Amino acid sequence: MNDPRPFRRGPDAVVSGPAKVDVRRMPQVLQRITALALRYPARLVLAITCSLGSAVASLALPRLFGAAVDQAQALLSAGAAHAAEARAALWSTAILVIAASVVRGALTMFSGYLGEYVSQQVAQDLRLKYFQQLQRLSFGFHDRIHSGDLITRGMLDLEGARVFIQNGLMQALTLVMLLSFASYMMLSTDLVMGLIGLAFVPVAGAALGRMGFLLRIAWLRIQELMAILTLTMEENLQGTRLVRAFAAKRFEMAKFDRASIDALNHAYKRIVLRCRGVSTMTVSFYGSMGLLLWYGGHRVVDGTMTVGRVTEFLAYMSLMQTPIRQVAMIFNSAARATSAGGRLFEVMDLDSEITDAPRAVPLKPTKGVLRFENVGFSYGDGARALSNISFEVRPGRTLGIVGSPGSGKSTIANLAPRFYDVSEGAITIDGRDIRDVTLASLRAYVGLVQQEAFLFDSSIGHNIAYADPWAAEAQIVGAARTAQIHDHIAALPAAYETRVGERGVALSGGQRQRMSIARGVAPEPGVMIFDDSAAAIDAVTERRVRDALARATKAKATIIIAHRLSSLMHADEILVLDAGRIVERGTHIGLVALGGVYAGLYEMQTRTATLDERARHPEDA
Amino acid sequence: MSDFAAETPAAGRPPRATLGSAEGDDVFGTFDPKVARRFLGFLKPHGKAFFCAQVAVLIAAASQVAIPALIGLAATAAVARDGRRLDLALLAFAGLAGVYAIAALLEQWISARLAQRVIFDIRRKMFGHFQDVSLSFMDKTHVGRIMSRLQGDVNTLQDLLESSTGAAGDFAMLIGITVVLLAMDWRLGLLTLTVLPALVVIRAIWLPFSKKSFLAARDASSAANSALAENINGVRTVQETRREAINFELYREKAQENFRAQVGASWMAQIMTPTVDALTGLAMAIVIVMGGDAVLGGRLQVGVMVAFIFYLQRFFEPVRVLSTQYTVMQRAMAAGHRIFEVLDVKVDIQDAPDAIALKDAPATVEFRNVTFGYDPERPVLHDINLTVNPREVVALVGPTGSGKTSIIALARRLYEVDRGQVLVGGHDVRDLTLDSLGQTIGMVLQDPFLFTGTIEENIRYNTQSATAQDVVAAAKAVSAHDFISRLPEGYQTRLGQRGRNVSMGQRQLISFARTLVANPQILILDEATANIDSFTEQAIQRALKVLFAGRSCIVIAHRLATIRDADRIVVLQHGRILEQGPHDELMRNAGLYFQLCASAHASFDDQAMMDDSLHAMRT
């Protein structure tokens, strides 16, 4: 609930904002994606060969058509004398046309399939690497970046990088090859005709390439506006009670309209872009064709050219029409890959702030004494969170920590399992600095139950046994009993197999926290830290949880962080934090007698006690 | 069902471990004329544009069909060595190409704009509908689900709209080409078109297979994505519980499955290419052999043969596009069905035709014999009679499920009573406009909802007349000014989603300020139960006094301090009023209220320890 670092954005916030097409980074990003594809050289080369072959087969067709027309023409002029010969020629041309078509189709198919294969292979590699990286990156990173943004990168941006291999890389190669072959064929056959026929290519190519690029940029802008619209709608729906309470329908509709019309106007701009590009293509293509017909036609009239030749050139032109249209797609996907790949690689290239030291050894606790020695901590942006914190917790002992929001309580909780590293001082277990042991062994030993209980979209049993999926049934039930949630679970239709999470049964805030406590105690760590993890549990139930925990974790070192003093007044030592420093410490009785901050809090809490409506009906009793 | 523990042999994998789960809506629907008709209703306001687009489509298609014919004419003229006829044909060609360019431009321009416009109309209508539908519907429908209607389904319709004009053009062209081929030479035309039925049959066989593999690919991809999303959302728990390695294995399985499905789907999609190409080649071969023969026999001009070849090159592309269009249509049907389902959700609460605006009425709320249940069969309030007088603060107290929340919801007419009457300012709420009721009654919800935006915008909310000074004054009055001015950008500080960057207690204070700015005569307040740090708690207690001053209030109170300050306490149980009166009187009665108060100290009930601390405090 409380973001530990409100409003802070450090200079090391490497993560960029909304997606942008950074032209300077374009070559670098595209090269990198290409390099990833080149890790599958055999398939890639084969795909390109197929695409080349299909291009050659495509180019054979116009020549064949031209030949057929001329043969027909020859038949006509030669009369019956050479009819048989000409007819045979027609037949062989026809067979060649079928063969060329089949070859072209088959090769197109193979190159399409292989291209998809390689791109999906690259996508899978990226996917796994990205997943791994996110698991590796520290809390410091995850604090800085919104989870939704990370999900978008892993889904849409990754797809953007993948699609480039097919729609950008392969298409561009095919286009270049097709274009050079066609140009060669046309120009070598007849220079003037060739030049006229090819005239539309640079004009249309430039217009379409520009269009593809600009469309992408416009698209990104629209996505931004759509995100605003989505947020507007989502918040309206989530806050529907508030909206109705304030009779704010008109206000909300106006908000919707503003966001909506903004997006609509940008969508219109995209249409203009597209129409401009496509029209340039149409006009230049038909212009070229008209000129070709005029020039070629008059040469036929003059008798310096056969009609078949003209047909051949026309066929070349219509053959090139489709690939030239692809220029838009190629540029679009290159632009997309630049922004998408950039966002993806940015995360992949980060180093985790917290990693195992080179000579880290597994933690082997002997006595199990956790000690904070003059610990100081500042967040990445220099904001001071803790100064001079020293304390010790031994097995069987409980430490309580209390303080106002932002006083550094949660920071202490997150430092012990090394989700962040201390800036000064040291945290030790049995005298060994926790930075010298492996993360896995440390976190297995130090268990943390956070205030926000994240439940996974699966069964209750799986959620409780999350840390140890091999846990025996008895262990799970035991943990649930300790957290006072067993009775509730047992009453559910599918008991421990009941699904929770987004699509599962709804649990109250208190129930979720108890689930999270059960999950925390199930693996039986040596040190337990409860970070305000009972705030939403009603007082009566909380007391039962506390008693059960006391029994279950009797031999463990326990740290309890809470607002509610009743949660920690039984602790062996209580620290009162203010602005990252310990201002008071002692036992409950001692602190109350001191008459300081703690005593003031205690006085206030007994006075502003809450009427507990569930007192007579404790939750799920 | 997500637990695949049963399906997988207990190899190296933990038995319970799962990662993510994905369930989606149906993708394909069947053609439903009712859906189509209602959908066309959205086009009605743009009838002129729609008509123009259709005309442009026809012109573009016709000119595209005519162009190869002109090329043919030109070829014939050239062969006949008739320069003048050639020039004429080319002139016509140029004119037609110009017509085509303009018509195509218009078609694209109009239809794309139309598609965008209609989509925004539909979305707006749906969004507006969600503002009116009954709260019970909103209570039981997940916001994510509604959003997928507003986004996903609407976007699917957009796909259909954007592509349908093009499809109409393709269809027109297909017919045009067929007509021209037959007109030019019906024998050769018929012969060439024989390949068409073959293509149709092949596609019909192929379609179900491709659909299956398409769906498999889609499911695999959403399974992988949902696993990724879950792991990101729960990354802190994953690291706390050291699940990295297991989750990576689980994810790898999904990624591999996705890879297989995608490649399979690609194979299915690609396999049609050589089929279409082969058939095109066959048709061409027929033209070459038969046409060539006809040319020899003098039955066919060379130019016609050239035109045939050009037409055939264009013939198969529209066929392919049209059959994909069928899939788009099916998906749009499924989406359209869900959209109209939403638009058909009934609106229970709206202004009566002769509703009056509440003005200058006394600030009273009265319940007369009110019976109400979210499910009419099971009432949660029975025969409630309660009057709140001007400037009176009434605290509602009672166990969970006693009906407190229902009472305040009914006072604001968020639901309709089943029997009896609720009167505000002496008028039945059903006779009042909802707007005026909203201006008279202010509501502070238990979970303070804040919008993304600056703090100032949040405090002002829909009281647009409030100046910046009003906002600051309200914040000062509810003790929120101090913490707001300490924020880096003060009142201009942007709140994250749902106010993530301020504490629970601070959110509460902002929501108080918001209500104060609206300055309602009557206040309904649902006090937060959440544990708020004691420092903010003090500020809240002070703020409540300011909020209550000079207003008629109904408060669902949890804090003893709040309850004690009320003029009257109404104790509810099982939907009935059990007792009411001021604090002291109820304590003397020793009823339910007395018991509730006693348990308030439950959390500090270590009596011995309490005594010790009190003793320590006194000394």
Per-residue pLDDT reduced to its tens digit, B534-589: 777 778 888 888 888 888 999 888 777 788 888 898 988 888 888 888 888 888 88
Asked if residue A331 and residue A437 are part of one domain, the reply reads no
Per-residue pLDDT reduced to its tens digit, A581-601: 888 888 888 888 888 888 888
Q: Quick one: average pLDDT of A508-518?
A: 83
Asked if residue B369 and residue B339 are part of one domain, the reply reads no
The CATH code of the domain that includes B544 is: 3.40.50.300
Distance CA A381, CA A13 (A): 9
Asked if residue B389 and residue B279 are part of one domain, the reply reads no
pLDDT at A487: 83
Nearest residue to B481 via CA among B465, B459, B463: B459
pLDDT at A81: 63
Residue A243: count other Cβ atoms within 10 Å of its Cβ.
23
Q: Quick one: average pLDDT of A242-268?
A: 88
Residue B237, by phi and psi: left (phi above 0), alpha (psi -120 to 50) or beta?
alpha
Structural domain includes residue A358? no
Asked if residue A393 and residue A336 are part of one domain, the reply reads no
Per-residue pLDDT reduced to its tens digit, A219-229: 888 888 888 88
- Residue with the bigger pLDDT between A328 and A553: it is A328
pLDDT at A283: 92
Asked if residue B272 and residue B387 are part of one domain, the reply reads no
Structural domain includes residue A11? no
Query: Distance of alpha carbon A422 from its chain centroid, rounded?
Result: 30
Asked if residue A332 and residue A480 are part of one domain, the reply reads no
Per the CB < 8 Å rule, is A300 touching B81?
A: yes
Structural domain includes residue B172? yes
Per the CB < 8 Å rule, is A458 touching B3?
A: yes
Asked if residue B210 and residue B131 are part of one domain, the reply reads yes
Asked if residue A177 and residue A107 are part of one domain, the reply reads yes
CB-nearest to B462 from A238, A246, A465 is A246
Structural domain includes residue A567? yes
pLDDT at B240: 84
Which residues of chain B have a CB within 8 Å of the CB of A450? Answer: 236-237, 240
Interface with chain A: mutation pick from B239, B564, B572, highest number of A CBs within 10 Å: B239
Q: Chain A: nearest CA to B556, how far in angstroms?
A: 11
Per the CB < 8 Å rule, is B399 touching A248?
A: no
Given a contact cutoff of 8 angstroms between Cβ atoms, the answer to whether A88 and A96 are in contact is no
Structural domain includes residue B274? yes
Q: Chain A: nearest CA to B577, how far in angstroms?
A: 15
Distance CA B137, CA A434 (A): 53
pLDDT at B368: 92
- Which residue of chain B is at minimal alpha-carbon distance from A150? B232
Per the CB < 8 Å rule, is B298 touching A617?
A: no
Residue B393: count other Cβ atoms within 10 Å of its Cβ.
24
Question: Which of A313, A348, A383 is the last residue before a domain boundary?
Answer: A348
Q: Which residues contact B469 (CB under 8 A, 6 or more apart)?
A: none
CB-nearest to B232 from A147, A234, A239 is A147
Q: Which residues contact B615 (CB under 8 A, 6 or more apart)?
A: none
Q: Quick one: average pLDDT of A166-195?
A: 87
- Residue B526: what are its φ and ψ, rounded to 5°? -110, 105
Q: Chain A: nearest CA to B221, how far in angstroms?
A: 9
Residue positions counted in chain B:
619
Distance CA B72, CA B308 (A): 9
Asked if residue A408 and residue A322 are part of one domain, the reply reads no
Residue A286: count other Cβ atoms within 10 Å of its Cβ.
20
Distance CA B554, CA B559 (A): 14
The parent domain of residue B562 ranges over 365-446+519-581
Q: Chain A: nearest CA to B362, how far in angstroms?
A: 20
Between positions 241 and 280 of B, the ones with CB within 8 A of A are: 241-244, 246-248, 251-252, 255-256, 258-259, 262-263, 266-267, 269-271, 273-278, 280
Edge-first strand listing for the sheet containing A557-561: A446-449, A527-531, A557-561, A398-403, A573-578, A581-586
SS3 label, residue A585: strand
Asked if residue B392 and residue B276 are part of one domain, the reply reads no
Strand partners, B427: B424
Asked if residue A344 and residue A419 are part of one domain, the reply reads no
Question: Count of domains in chain A?
Answer: 2
- Which residue of chain B is at minimal alpha-carbon distance from A297? B78
Question: Which of A281, A313, A348 is the last residue before a domain boundary?
Answer: A348
CB-nearest to A293 from B74, B488, B613 is B74
The CATH code of the domain that includes A241 is: 1.20.1560.10
Asked if residue A321 and residue A381 are part of one domain, the reply reads no
pLDDT above 90 (res A5): no
Asked if residue A541 and residue A394 are part of one domain, the reply reads yes
pLDDT above 80 (res A252): yes
Orientation angle between helical segments B302-343 and A41-78, nearest 10 degrees: 140
User: Where residue A619 falls among pLDDT bands split at 50, 70, 90?
Assistant: very low
The CATH code of the domain that includes A524 is: 3.40.50.300
Per-residue pLDDT reduced to its tens digit, A414-436: 888 888 888 888 898 888 888 88
Specify the DSSP class assigned to residue B493.
P
Hey, CA dihedral for A194, A197, A202, A208, is it positive or negative?
A: negative
Asked if residue A80 and residue A41 are part of one domain, the reply reads yes
SS3 label, residue A459: strand
pLDDT at B11: 40
Structural domain includes residue B7? no
SS3 label, residue B345: coil
CB-nearest to A252 from B16, B131, B616 is B131
> What pTM was computed for the model?
0.80
Per the CB < 8 Å rule, is B244 touching A136?
A: yes
Asked if residue A223 and residue A88 are part of one domain, the reply reads yes
Distance CA B237, CA A466 (A): 9
pLDDT at A203: 92
pLDDT above 90 (res A120): yes
Q: Quick one: average pLDDT of B214-229?
A: 87
Nearest residue to B587 via CA among B605, B564, B565: B564
Given a contact cutoff of 8 angstroms between Cβ atoms, the answer to whether A341 and A157 are in contact is yes
Asked if residue B116 and residue B150 are part of one domain, the reply reads yes
pLDDT above 60 (res A249): yes
Tokens of A378: 């500042």
Nearest residue to A74 via CA among A61, A62, A87: A87
- Per-chain mean pLDDT for chain B: 82
Residue B584: count other Cβ atoms within 10 Å of its Cβ.
9
Query: With 0-12 CB in 10 A as exposed, 13-18 as middle and 19+ as buried, what is A553?
Result: buried
Of all residues in chain A, what percent carry a pLDDT higher than 90?
15
Question: Count of domains in chain B?
Answer: 2
User: Where residue A123 falls among pLDDT bands split at 50, 70, 90?
Assistant: very high
Per-residue pLDDT reduced to its tens digit, A339-364: 888 888 988 888 888 888 888 888 88
Asked if residue A301 and residue A236 are part of one domain, the reply reads yes
Query: With 0-12 CB in 10 A as exposed, 13-18 as middle and 19+ as buried, what is A452?
Result: middle
The parent domain of residue A253 ranges over 24-348
Q: Quick one: average pLDDT of B122-137?
A: 86
Question: Which of B278, B313, B343 is the last residue before a domain boundary?
Answer: B343
Nearest residue to A159 via CA among A347, A15, A323, A339: A339
Beta-sheet pairing, B568-573 with B393-397:
parallel
Asked if residue B265 and residue B157 are part of one domain, the reply reads yes
Asked if residue B382 and residue B319 are part of one domain, the reply reads no
- Which residue of chain B is at minimal alpha-carbon distance from A595? B617
Q: Tokens 């933690």 — which residue?
A: A363
Residue A175: count other Cβ atoms within 10 Å of its Cβ.
20
Tokens of B199: 């293509």
Helix or strand holding residue B208 (H, E)? helix B195-233
SS3 label, residue A203: helix
pLDDT above 60 (res A616): no
Distance CA B15, CA A476 (A): 14
pLDDT at A110: 92
Per-residue pLDDT reduced to its tens digit, B73-114: 888 888 888 888 888 988 998 999 999 999 999 988 998 888
Per-residue pLDDT reduced to its tens digit, A466-492: 888 888 888 888 888 888 888 888 888
Distance CA A217, CA A211 (A): 10
Nearest residue to A367 via CA among A500, A555, A591: A555
Asked if residue B315 and residue B435 are part of one domain, the reply reads no
Given a contact cutoff of 8 angstroms between Cβ atoms, the answer to whether A247 and B435 are in contact is yes
User: Where residue B23 falls among pLDDT bands split at 50, 70, 90?
Assistant: low
Asked if residue A408 and residue A272 are part of one domain, the reply reads no
Asked if residue B76 and residue B129 are part of one domain, the reply reads yes
Query: Distance of alpha carbon A25 from its chain centroid, rounded?
Result: 20
pLDDT at B464: 84
Q: Chain A: nearest CA to B118, how far in angstroms?
A: 11
How many angstroms separate the Cα of B532 from the Cα of each of A390, A535, B141?
Answer: 27, 9, 29
Asked if residue B418 and residue B313 are part of one domain, the reply reads no
Q: Quick one: average pLDDT of A493-509?
A: 75
Per the CB < 8 Å rule, is B604 touching A606?
A: yes
Residue B410: count other Cβ atoms within 10 Å of its Cβ.
22
Per the CB < 8 Å rule, is B288 touching A610?
A: no
Specify which of A524-533, B99-108, B224-233, B316-325 reaches the highest per-range mean pLDDT.
Answer: B99-108
Residue positions counted in chain A:
621
3-class SS letters over A325-377? HHHHHHHHHHHHHHHHHHHHHHHHCCCCCCCCCCCCECCCCCCCCEEEEEEEE
Q: Chain A: nearest CA to B422, how far in angstroms?
A: 16
Which residues of chain B have a CB within 8 Å of the CB of A459? Answer: 3, 16, 18
**What are the helix (H) ranges across B344-387?**
none
Structural domain includes residue A562? yes
Per-residue pLDDT reduced to its tens digit, B500-534: 667 778 888 898 899 889 888 899 888 776 666 77
Given a contact cutoff of 8 angstroms between Cβ atoms, the answer to whether B219 and B185 are in contact is no
Per the CB < 8 Å rule, is B414 touching A124?
A: no
Distance CA B137, CA B149 (A): 15
- Residue with the bigger pLDDT between B432 and B322: it is B432
Interface with chain B: mutation pick from A9, A63, A108, A109, highest number of B CBs within 10 Å: A109
Structural domain includes residue A354? no
